[in-house]
A and B are shown apart, each in its own frame.
Chain A
Amino acid sequence: MSSAKADIKVEIKRRTFTFKVKRYDPKTGGYRLSEYKVEVTNRQTVLDALLKIKATQDATLAVRYSCRMGTCGSCAMIINGTPRLACETKPFELGTDVITVEPLSNLKPIKDLVTDMDDFFEKHKAVDPWLIRKDEKEQFEQLDTYYPQTEEQLLNYLEFSYCIKCGACYAACPMVFLNKNYLGPQALAAAYRWSADNRDEGYVLRLKIVDSDNGVWSCHYSGTCSKVCPKGVDPALAINLLKKSLLTGKPPAR
């Protein structure tokens, strides 16, 4: 073993945290609070702690997760009052000994921390978040066709394409709470992402969908969506750019 590798000291701290988990019970239709004490290291995440609780203390605790590395967006939940990804949040970095974990707001519960994402995905689908070309024959049959794109054109939409559809922005949005038919920050960011793509020819269609009471005009700009996004997607900027586009009648910069 090389000496350079041996010199690296990894400091492992251990501490016992109290997890207060708000759980939805589908049998009674109500919520209850379960309390668990679990020891975690400074390199473990809230998801690790919840899985440890599930393995050692309470096997009935329902948690949804998949990739454990902030890519799939399955494990978004409200941790200490803010929607975050459980797999990217470390108990040591939260600064409290008692950690409250709740299911995402504005979504229907299924069991414990698991929420029903159907409405959320339906709204995402409603804005046609795919490449629309006028010539479908060329798009789907002439597979040797290329749609070139420069670096500048890529940067017009790149940051909005990092969305993992975890639902954190949707849970944080006060306007989704007030208007349950509002498309929500995620769907509108997706609408902008495709409309600002120079390869796309369907922005007129998409802007017609978002130009409605349940579209961009339900956004009253609290900016909470952008503050909670674990991937830095900035849906508030996308919505404001969509509004600017609709008000000035100019297509998004592409």
Chain B
Amino acid sequence: MAEKLSTKRNPPKWSLWFKGLDEWLLIFQKVSGALLALYLIGHTLVISTALNFGHPTPLTWERIIGLIEGPQVIGNVHFGAIIEYLVALLVAIHGANGVRLILMQYFGLGLPKPERRTYPMVPSPMKKPQVIYKYLIIIVVVIFIALASYVAFIG
């Protein structure tokens, strides 16, 4: 029997990508980006429908927005408000990490200068400035979540 060489590549090691902070930030960035894109499409459709596609009437606005807001689920918080709260969390994660990436790639924020390497070698994503910026965005997101929770459920 003739041997056939595979045209498919070897499968990846998924466990390798669930270990570090950088990999998780990438996963959050991609997933939140995709969800926000879907939300944007849905949001445009809902608002266009509520505005009666260019011929707004108070009646259609009240009906559509009332439908989307849904019933009250926690106290006097509507279902729609919870969705908005989740969208705000996605925006916080995507925005904070996106700003970090833009600053790093455009201005070189936290990027070390190439240098003569000595053992043990520390890769640039694990070096101090970059690690500080990564934890900084986590702190920003946590503060935002706290504030958003207060506004949505208490204030």
- Listed in ascending order, the chain A residues whose CB lies under 8 Å from chain B are 24, 26-27, 29, 78, 81-83, 102-110, 115-116, 155-160, 162, 171-172, 174, 177, 180, 196, 220-224, 226-229, 232, 234, 236-237, 240-241, 243-244, 247-248, 253
Contact = CB atoms under 8 A, between A and B. Distances in A.
Given A108-B10, A247-B105, 12 more contacts: A24-B6, A78-B13, A82-B16, A108-B9, A110-B5, A160-B114, A222-B22, A223-B124, A229-B123, A237-B123, A240-B104, A240-B108
15 contacts: A26-B6, A81-B16, A82-B16, A115-B10, A162-B117, A180-B9, A196-B114, A220-B30, A221-B26, A224-B23, A227-B125, A236-B124, A241-B111, A244-B106, A244-B108
Interface residues of B, number: 40
A106 B9 CA distance: 5
Contact of A29 (B4, B105, B115): B4
B101 interface: yes
Interface in B94-109: 101, 104-108
Interface in B110-145: 111-117, 119, 121, 123-126
A-B residue pairs, 10 tightest by C-beta: A232-B121, A223-B125, A226-B123, A223-B22, A237-B124, A26-B3, A105-B12, A243-B105, A222-B26, A177-B12
A159 B101 CA distance: 23
Contacts of A221: 22, 26, 101, 125
B20 A223 contact: yes
B111 to A, nearest CB: 6
B25 to A, nearest CB: 8
A140 to B, nearest CB: 29
B7 interface: yes
Interface string B1-35: 10111111111110111001011001001100000
Interface string B54-89: 000000000000000000000000000000000000
A105 B123 contact: no
Contact of B13 (A26, A105, A234, A240): A105
Interface of B: 1, 3-13, 15-17, 20, 22-23, 26, 29-30, 101, 104-108, 111-117, 119, 121, 123-126
B58 to A, nearest CB: 46
B116 A107 contact: no
Given A222-B17, A224-B17, A104 B10 contact: yes
Contacts of A155: 114-116
B106 A248 contact: yes
A226 B105 contact: no
A247 B106 contact: yes
A157 B123 contact: no
Main secondary structure of the interface of A (DSSP, over half): mixed
Contacts of B112: 237
Given A106-B12, A108-B9, A241-B111, A223 B123 contact: yes
A20 to B, nearest CB: 14
A229 to B, nearest CB: 7
Contacts of B4: 26, 29
A154 to B, nearest CB: 9
A103 B22 contact: no
Contacts of A108: 5-10
A180 B7 CA distance: 12
Which of A104, A155, A220, A224 has the most chain B CB atoms inside 10 A of its CB?
Answer: A224
A226 B111 CA distance: 13
A222 B124 contact: no
B132 to A, nearest CB: 15
A37 B104 CA distance: 48
A165 B77 CA distance: 58
